[in-house]
Structure 1
Amino acid sequence: MGGVRELAASFVAPGPSGVAVRDRLKHLISQDVHVLRVVGAHQGALASRDLRVRCADGPNHGAESWATRKRELTKVSSSRIAGAITKATHDQWALARRSQTAHIRSLEAGIKVLRHRLSLPIGAAGSKRGPGGYRSRSEWFHKSRRLQALEARHAAAVTDWQAGRVRVVRGGKRLFSTRHHLAEAGLTEGEWRERWEAERWFLAADGESGKRYGNETIRVTPDGQVSIKLPAPLAHLANAKHGRYTLTSTVAFAHRGVEWADRVEANRAVAYRIHYDTTRGRWYLTASWQRPTVQILPLKAALAGGVIGVDTNADHFAAYRLDPHGNPVGEPHRFPYDLTGTAHHRDAQLRHALTRLLHWAEQTGVGAIAIEDLDFSAEKTREKHGRKKRFRQLISGIPTGKLKARLVSMAAEHGLAIVAVDPAYTSRWGGQHWQKPLTTPRRRMSRHDAAGIAIGRRALGHPIRRRTAPPPHDRSDRVGHRTVQADRRARGREEPRPRIPGPRTRSVPPDAARTRATRTPKTVRDVRSEQEWVQDSLLLTE
C-alpha cells in the first residue's frame, strides 16, 4: 500500500443559500408584449455597452470606475436599473475569469500527459496510474505536434489572464456559433435572430428590503399583479402613475408561494427576472431571494442515525444503507437515469432519480446521504484516453458539479445532510472487501453496490476493509476483537458469545476433572500423560 495517497477528510456540504421560483405570464395583450420587448432591448443595449467597458478595464477596475459607469447608465435609465446592470456585469466578468482559469488548468493537464507519454519508448505498456507510450512513430510525431499547439494555446491564455483580458459573448457563444450552422440546427435566419435578440434582452431587477413589496423596479403585489418601472427614455409608454407599466397578466407561484407571499407582505427583498422562451412562445417571471445562513450540522450528529452511501455512475445511482456502526442493512438499491437527449430531458431524469433516492432515505430514517466529492477535470482530457472516445464521453456525461448542487438543494427540504467523502479507491476496495461476502443466491452484488458501502463507511469514519489482522498472541480475543465493525464495549453491535462447554471457550463442567482422571484411552499410548493424580479417600480412613 505504499502508493496509496492520503485521503481527504469527509465533511458536511453546506446547504442552499437561495431560492428561485417561476411562473408563466399568461394572457398578455399585444401592448404588454410590445412594452416588454422595447424595455428589454433598451436595457440589453445598456448592459452590452457596460460589459464592454468593464472588460476594457480588466484588473484595473475599482470603485471610482464603477461609480462612473453607474452614473452614465443612470442618465438613460434609473439608479436602480443602473445598479442591477452593473452588478450583472461584474458577475459575468467574474464567471468568465473563472472559466479562463479552468481552461488554463485543462491545458496544463493535457500538456503534462503529452510530455509523459512522449518521454516513454514506443509501445511501452501503461498502468492503472498512467498511460503508456504511443503505439507507433507516426502517432508519436502527431502528438508532438499537438504538444506544440497546446503549449501555444496555454501561453496565449496565460498572457490574457495576466492582462485581465476575458472574452464574453452576451447571448451565449454556442448560440453565436449556431448562426453559421443554421441548417444543422434546424433554424431559419429569422428564428435565429429572434432567439439571439431575446437572449440579449435585460429584464431583471435586484430586490431591496424596506421598499414596497421588496422591489421598486419590478414590483409584484401579494395578489400577483406585475408592474415595471420604465426607463426615463420610455416613460411615455407608462399606463400607471410614477412612470410604471402594469401588465394585464397576474402570477401565482404554486411552489413556495406561501414563503414568497410572507416576504412580499413584509417588504423583504425579492429579485425578479422576466424572460421570453422563443421555442414555446411564452413569457416567464422568476422570483428569487436569499435564505438566512443555516448552521451546518456537525458531522457526528448527521451520522448518528446511519447513512446511505451512494455511488454515482453514468446511468444510475447505486445506494446502500449502513447503520451507525458501518454494517450494511437490507438490500442494495439502484436508481437509474438516462443522460442522453436534450438538456431539459437530462435535467428531468436527474431530478426524478434524486427524488426517488430522497424518498427512500426518508423511509429508512437515516439522517445523511454520503456521496463522492468527484472532479473529473483531469480525467476528461483526450490526451490521457486518446483512443477511448466513448470512455471520455462517459466521464464527461457524469453530472458531478450539477449533481452535488442539486442534491444539496433537494435534501435540505427533506431535512437530510449531504456528506462528501474522498472518492479514492472506493470502487476498488469496495469490490475487494464487500462484493463477494454479501453475494447470495438471492442477492446479486455488483461492484457499484459494494462501492456504495465503501462510501458510507468512509463517511462514518470506519475503515473500508471488513477484518483486521489476527491478534499477535494467539487466536483468542485477548487483545481486541478481530472484526473492525465490532467492539467489546458495544453490546448492541454483537451480542456476547454463548457459554458452550468445551476448550474453545475455556468453560468446563464441574465434574470434568474426575472424568478426565478416570477415563481410559482407546488407543495404546502413555496413559500417565492423559491422567491427573487424585487422592483416594479410602487411604485416609482406618
Structure 2
Amino acid sequence: MGVVTDFCDTGWGVEEMGGLRELAASFVVPGPSGVAIRTRLKHLTAGDEKVLRLVGDLLGTLASRDLKARCSAGLEHDTKQWAQRKRTLSEQSSSRWAGSITKASHDQWALARRGQLAHIQSLQAGIETIAHRLSVPVGEKGSKQAPGGYRSTREWHAKRLRLCVLEDRLQAVRADREAGVVRVVRGGKRLLNTRHHLQEVQLSEEQWRLRWQAGRRFLAADGESGKRFGNETIRVTPGGEFSIKVPAPLAHLANAPHGRYVLAARVSFAHRGEQWADRVAANRAVAYRIHEDVSRGRWYVTASWTIPAVQTVPLEAARTGGLIGVDTNADHLAAWRLDAHGNPTGNPRRFDYDLSGTAAHRDAQVRHALIRLLHWAERHHLAIAVEDLDFTAETTREKHGRRKRFRNLISGMPTGRLRARLVSMAAELGIPVVAVDPAYTSKWGAQHWQKHLTTKDRKTTRHDAAAVAIGRRALGHPIRRRTAPPPHDRSDRAGHRTVQAEPGTPGREGNRPRIPGPRTRSVRAGRGENAVDQNAQHRSGRSAEHGFWGQDSLPLSL
C-alpha cells in the first residue's frame, strides 16, 4: 500500500461545529526530486589534504567576491552581469569552476531572499498579536479564538515598548527587501557569532579559526551529462579513483595529465552505490561536494543528482486495506493500525528517539525510528498517516507568552527533518505518502477514542488516540466514533459493540460468524451468532418458542 502522511485532521466538519477553521483536503505527497549520498575519503596523505585545503581556500576567496558582487547587484542583476562575473572567475580558475561558483552565489542570494520574506511574516504575526493584546483590558481572559490581555500593567508597558521595537525592525527589513538588499555570511552566522563566546563553547581561538576556514572553503562542482563520468571538474570513476581539476593559479600542484590532481583515497558509496555506479558508467550528471570535519579530522565527499518525478498512487488506492496512523511527538512516534473502515486493530506501537546531543546523533535517531515504522508498514502492506506539523509560526514568544518551556518543547520537535526523511525513505521502499490537515487531531482523538480504547491490559495515551484520529482523517472518515444506542436497546443486550462499518458494506446487517471457545459468563460460546434473526433467539414471548400459540376464549361462567 502506501504511507499516508497526516497533514490534516478530520473529524467534524466546519458546518457541524461552528467557529472551526476549514480543513484542507488530503493528498498524496510527491516523492523527492533528488538524491544525495555521502562517504568518507579514507587513506588521504598529508599531501592530498594540503592540496584540498589550498584549492578550497582559493576557490572560497573567489566565491566570497562573487557573492558580494551578486548581492551588490540586487534586483538589477541580469544575464550580462552574470556573464561578466563568470569571465572574471574563469581567468582566475577555470570555466567549470566559475560556473559552479556563480550558480552557488545565485542560490545563496535566492535563499537569503526567502529567509527575508519569512522574517517579515514572523514580525507581522508578532506585531498583530501584541497589538491585539494591548487593545484588550489588563487581566481579561482570552478565548480559543483570540488571546486575552496582559496580566499586569507592568507587562503591558513592557510589551508596548516591544511593539515599537518590532515595528522598527519590520520597517527596516521591508526597506531592504524593496531595495533587494540581503545579508549573507559565508561560513555561517552562528559560527561567526561563536567567535565572541569561545569559553562558553569550550573552543580555543585556533580551533575556531580552523572551523571558520573549513566552512568558507569552496569545493563543489555541478555535473554535466555527456561528459566523462558525469563531471569534468570533480571526477570519480566506477573503480573509485578520485581526482579534481586544479585551478590555473595552482596548476603546479597537478600530478596527472590535463591539470588534474589524483587523490590517494579510493571512493565507494555504501548507500545507493549501485545507482551511483550506473549513472557514472553511463556518463550521466553527478554533482560532488568535498568538505572537512575539523572536529573529527576527516574529509567527506557528497554525491548528488536529480531523479525524475515518480507518479504518485491515487489517494483511493493508498487508502485500500487500511493504514497506520502516526502522531509525532518530542520524543517518540505513536502509531496505531486501522482497517479500511477506520477501526483500530491490534495494539498501539511506539517508536522512540532521543533528540539530545549533536545534530548527527539527532538525525540518526529520527532515521532509525522511521526505519522501524516503514518496515512495519511494508511488512503488512499498509499506508501510514503522519501529521505534517509546522511550528514556524507557533514558537514565538508573542503567541505563547511566558510558556517558555512549551515553546522549547515544540521548537525541538523535528517536524521538518522528519517530513523530509519520511518522504525520501518511503519513496525508496515504494510507499506513497498522503498528507492531511493536522487540525484538532490531539483534542478530538482524546475526546472520542482515548477512553474507549483503554482496557485492563492496555493503557491508551493521548498520543495513541491522536494516532487513531490522524488515521481516520487520512482514510476520509470523521474522527468521532459512531454513537451507540442505549445499552438495553442493542441486539444482544448490553454486550453489543459499536458498529463502524459503512452503510454500503455487504453483510453488515447479517448474522455474525460463529466464534468457538469460551466467552464471558453472560454470553456463552456460540451465542450471539443469530443476533439479527429475532425468530432464532429463544426469548420469552417470541415465535421462536416453536409452538402454536393462541389466546384461549374466556369461560362463559364469568
Is the TM-score greater than 0.5? yes
- Provide the residue aligned with 2:305 in structure 1: 289
Deviation at 1:517, TM superposition (A): 2.4
Within the candidate set 221, 234, 241, 2:250 is matched to 234
Provide the C-alpha distance between the structure 2 equivalents of 1:517 and 1:422, rounded to a whole number of angstroms: 64
Q: 1:407 is matched with which residue?
A: 422
Shift of 1:216: 0.3
Q: CA deviation at 1:111?
A: 0.8
Q: Which has the larger radius of gyration?
A: 1
What SS is found at the alignment partner of 2:534?
Answer: coil
User: Does 2:534 correspond to 1:500?
Assistant: yes
Residue in 1 aligned with 2:194? 178
1:132-175 Cα offsets, whole Å, 9 max, x none, are 21111111100110011011111111111111111000000000
Q: Which residue of 2 aligns with 1:382?
A: 397
Is the contact made by 2:538 and 2:544 (CA closer than 8 Å) also made in structure 1? no
Task: List per-residue Cα deviations over 1:337-388 (Å, max 9, x = no partner).
Answer: 222222122112111211121122222321x211112121221110121211
**Residue in structure 2 matching 1:142, options 158, 166, 171:** 158
Match among 76, 81, 93 for residue 60 of structure 1 = 76
Rounded to whole Å, the distance in 1 between the matches of 2:80 and 2:367 is 45
| Cα separation, partners in 2 of 1:494 and 1:512, compared to 1, 3 Å | closer
What residue identity is the alignment partner of 1:327? N
How many equivalent residue pairs? Answer: 513
Q: Is 1:439 aligned to 2:454, yes or no?
A: yes
Superposition pairs of residues 103-252 of structure 1, within 5 angstroms = 103-252=119-268
1:525: which partner in 2?
none
User: Unmatched 5+ residue regions in structure 2?
Assistant: 1-16, 492-496, 513-529
Question: What percentage of aligned pairs have identical amino acids?
Answer: 67
Instruction: Name the CA distance, whole Å, in 2 between partners of 1:433 and 1:154.
Output: 44
- The 3-state SS of whatever aligns with 2:142 is coil
Provide the residue aligned with 1:32 in structure 2. Answer: 48
Alpha-carbon offset, residue 310 of structure 1: 0.7
**Distance verdict in 2 for CA 1:273–1:511, change over 3 Å:** closer
CA deviation profile, 1:208-264 (whole Å, cap 9, x unmatched): 111111100011111100111111111111111111111111111111111111111
Cα separation, 2, equivalents of 1:509 and 1:469 = 28
Distance 1:429 1:370 in 2: 16
CA contact (8 A) 1:466 1:484 kept: no
Residues 494 and 340 of structure 1, relative CA distance in 2, 3 Å threshold: farther
Equivalent residue of 1:20, what SS? strand
Q: Cα–Cα, structure 1 residues 92 and 462, in superposed 2: closer, same or farther, change >3 Å?
A: same
1:465 to 2:480 alignment: yes
RMSD of aligned residue pairs (Cα, Å): 2.5
C-alpha change, 1:134 and 1:255, in structure 2 (3 Å) is same
1:416 alignment partner, one of 426, 431, 436: 431
1:502–1:508 Cα contact (<8 Å) kept: no
**1:518 matched to 2:552:** yes
> Cα offset for 1:513?
9.6
Residues in 2 aligned to 1:286 and 1:40: alpha-carbon distance in whole angstroms: 15
Alpha-carbon distance in 1 for matches of 2:409, 2:508: 41
SS of the aligned residue for 2:551 comes to helix
User: What is the one-letter code of the residue matched to 2:458?
Assistant: R
What is the letter of the counterpart of residue 407 of structure 1?
A: L
1:394 equivalent to 2:383? Answer: no
**Cα separation, partners in 2 of 1:515 and 1:63, compared to 1, 3 Å:** same
Q: What SS is found at the alignment partner of 2:290?
A: strand
Q: TM-score, normalised by structure 2?
A: 0.87
**3-state SS of paired residue (2:120):** helix
- Using CA pairs under 8 Å that are at least 6 residues apart, name the structure with larger relative contact order, 1 or 2: 2
Cα–Cα, structure 1 residues 127 and 221, in superposed 2: closer, same or farther, change >3 Å?
A: same
For 1:42, the aligned partner's letter is: L
Match of 1:91 among 107, 110, 134: 107
Aligned partners of 2:396 and 2:544: how far apart in 1? 74
Instruction: Look up the equivalent residue of 2:268 and give its one-letter code.
Output: A
Residue 487, structure 1, aligned to residue 502, structure 2: yes
The whole-number CA distance in structure 1 between the counterparts of 2:507 and 2:343 is 12
Secondary structure of 2:456's aligned partner = coil
TM-score by length of 1: 0.90
| One-letter amino acid of the structure 2 residue matched with residue 285 of structure 1 | V
For residues 454 and 56 of structure 1, the distance between their equivalents in structure 2, rounded to whole angstroms, comes to: 51
- Where structure 1 has 5 or more consecutive residues not aligned to the other structure, the ranges are 477-481, 521-542
Correspondent of 1:333 among 349, 352, 359: 349
- 1:255 aligned onto 2:271: yes
Q: Which amino acid aligns with 1:515?
A: W
- Distance change >3 Å, CA 510–CA 312, structure 1 → 2: closer
Contact 1:337-1:349 at 8 Å conserved across structures: yes
CA–CA separation in structure 1 for the residues paired with 2:473 and 2:200: 48
Flag the 1:70–1:136 CA change in 2: closer, same or farther, 3 A.
Answer: same
C-alpha displacement of 1:118:
0.9
One-letter code aligned to 1:404 = R
